[in-house]
Amino acid sequence: MDASQATMVMSIETPNWQRTLTMESWSLGMDYTLVRIQSPKKDAGIATLKRDSQMWNYFPKVRRVIKVPPSMMMGSWMGSDFTNDDLVRESSLAKDYEVSLSEETKEYVLTLIPNANTITVWDKIKIWIDKSQLLPTKEVFYDDKGTAMREMQFSNIRDFGGRKLPAKMSLIPLNKEGHKTEVEYKKLCFDVNIDESFFSLRELKR
């Protein structure tokens, strides 16, 4: 499985406040992720561990590990527009969705409809892919009434270790005016020497 290490900055905007977090993350394939906040100082050390469909948070001030229950999966992650489920969900789109392809002038458009046994809150997902670079430009998520509920925009294409990828993701909830969460990769390294044992509760608390 492909292992990676990244440094990211997450900026959260609401009509009433703004917040910026610097984070370090490690991933192994799509099943293992560890994210640790580096700044601001009051949040430093807070960490999230994902193993398959399970998720834990660590809070250093109280030295407690808390497993995220299913009832909290749609809750906000670190006050952002991302949910706990977003971190866990990363399922195989080809496996869990029926995919159809259409074309626009400069982009391919994938329409994803979940299979009957796929657990998801979305009735449909549409993904726009730039034809020239074969990279996503945006994703739109729809509810069971066909209403677009949120949009993910991809921008700032950069070269990370020979791989061209969008360095910035902007998540905009379309039902919350003035809300937006941006995540920008400052550093992204692949082929990192870690295995499944790294993604442990011991490492979560380190």
Q: What share of the chain has pLDDT > 70, as a percent?
A: 96
For residue 95, pLDDT over 80 is answered with: no
For residue 94, give the DSSP letter: H
The Cβ of residue 37 has, within 10 Å, a number of other Cβ atoms equal to 19
Instruction: Compute φ and ψ for 106, nearest 5 degrees.
Output: -115, 0
3-state secondary structure of 68: coil
Class at the top of the CATH hierarchy for domain 3-204: mainly beta
Tokens of 141: 């998520």
Q: Which of 35, 32, 22, 43 is nearest to 2 (CA)?
A: 32
pTM across the whole model? 0.89
Cα 48 to the chain's mean position, in Å?
12
Confidence of residue 121 (pLDDT cuts 50, 70, 90): confident
Q: Give the lowest-confidence range in 71-80, 91-100, 136-145.
A: 91-100
3-state secondary structure of 67: strand
Q: How far apart are CA 155 and CA 167, in angstroms?
A: 6
| Cβ atoms within 10 Å of 73's Cβ, excluding its own | 19
Average pLDDT of the chain? Answer: 92
Rounded to whole angstroms, the Cα distance separating 138 from 152 reads 5
Burial class (CB in 10 A: 0-12, 13-18, 19+), 162: exposed
Amino acid in position 187: K
* Three-state secondary-structure class, residue 167: strand
